[in-house]
Structure 1
């Protein structure tokens, strides 16, 4: 890992900040920790660019509000959302607003490091979104109608049970379609699959 790579850890939970800082320091990253979105925004304009690990649920400004402020003020840093279990709908909203990825807490170390690696590649190459957009429709064309239906439900932030109810199938069948969809898209996480879906939506909007 590059010792010059900086990661902002923005989370009101002291234990989470300490745990993430310890892991990242020993992996070779620089870190700066903030206990609130307000503290992060107060300092970020004066600091160098990096990757932001941003908790969704915080007192004061929540993660979505912090992200909105960053977008409005041109603070262009890749954001990885840290969510609790069951916050998928909020994570999808964050990704629609430009977050690059989301990780559920308690986080998996390997998944977090993969997301961080991708974030820094994004920071170095602003064309990644365009590359994804050009590739999205080709990959999505491999999906069956039901697999695309499941992806569309996920793009709305719906849990498996809601998607199952809407499609008139069982939650277990949704899980099977979801697994097949991710295998065909050649992705390892739901966040990656969602990015292909968002990219395809963007292409459709432009075409209209």
Structure 2
């Protein structure tokens, strides 16, 4: 099955409060899939598709708000950001924050299709893993930089005292950060947090399973 045929099966939600940009992208995407244009995710009125890819204009607070709205609604669709121009470091920050991809817009239709095909290809290679990974990445993206450091230490098997010594903070502060991590990830214990980190392919998850068992 060709890439275009695969993309015809997708629903794209385009979140962009710039009417011209949104309209042009909607028309381009209409050739390869079903498109729902919106100023914000509030426009959906709670009518969420069963599955969808959310494409968000990375301008102002639109991306941050879209990620927040998806989390609050419990909808972990793969989210792809776009903008006219962005630095490599900014794109990497967006991807590490939970986005499934990033592309340039406006751009010629053929280039748009190639960019989306590269992003969507991961889904066709292993759809279940990719969707679960996108959900896990979005949850990990809720964490503050310090909470990520604590999660990294936990995933690498360090005790609270060892993490505290490494970060130069108190063990009590580490425990508070760890509690916040569990709360934000929506899990009950460290083992579940580690499993979620594995799904997200978070950098801190480097130990073999048997070593993680001992660390917990």
TM-score (norm 2): 0.50
CA 1:205–1:44: 2 relative to 1, 3 Å: farther
Q: CA–CA distance in 2 between the matches of 1:130 and 1:4?
A: 19
One of 97, 107, 112 as aligned partner of 1:109: 112
1:20 positional shift? 1.8
List alignment gaps of at least 5 residues for structure 2: 134-199
Conserved 8 A contact 2:56-2:63: yes
List alignment gaps of at least 5 residues for structure 1: 132-197
Q: How does 1:1-208 map to 2 (within 5 A)?
A: 1=5, 3-27=8-32, 29-35=33-39, 37=40, 40-43=41-44, 45-48=46-49, 49-58=51-60, 61-107=61-107, 108-115=111-118, 117-118=120-121, 121=124, 125-128=127-130, 199=201, 201-204=203-206
Q: CA–CA distance in 2 between the matches of 1:205 and 1:64?
A: 32
**Cα-to-partner distance string for 1:164-207 (whole Å, 9 max, x where unaligned):** xxxxxxxxxxxxxxxxxxxxxxxxxxxxxxxxxx8361423886
Q: CA–CA distance in 1 between the matches of 2:91 and 2:37?
A: 21
CA 1:88–1:4: 2 relative to 1, 3 Å: same
CA 1:200–1:125: 2 relative to 1, 3 Å: same
TM-score (norm 1): 0.52
CA 1:16–1:67: 2 relative to 1, 3 Å: same
Residue 113 of structure 1 aligns to a residue whose secondary structure is: helix
Q: CA–CA distance in 2 between the matches of 1:67 and 1:205?
A: 30
Superposition RMSD in Å: 3.2
1:74 positional shift? 1.9
Conserved 8 A contact 2:53-2:77: yes
Q: CA–CA distance in 2 between the matches of 1:110 and 1:67?
A: 24
* Larger Cα-atom Rg: 2
Q: CA–CA distance in 1 between the matches of 2:46 and 2:68?
A: 15
Across the two proteins, how many residue pairs are aligned to each other? Answer: 135
Conserved 8 A contact 1:56-1:81: yes
CA 1:130–1:21: 2 relative to 1, 3 Å: closer
Q: CA–CA distance in 2 between the matches of 1:33 and 1:54?
A: 10
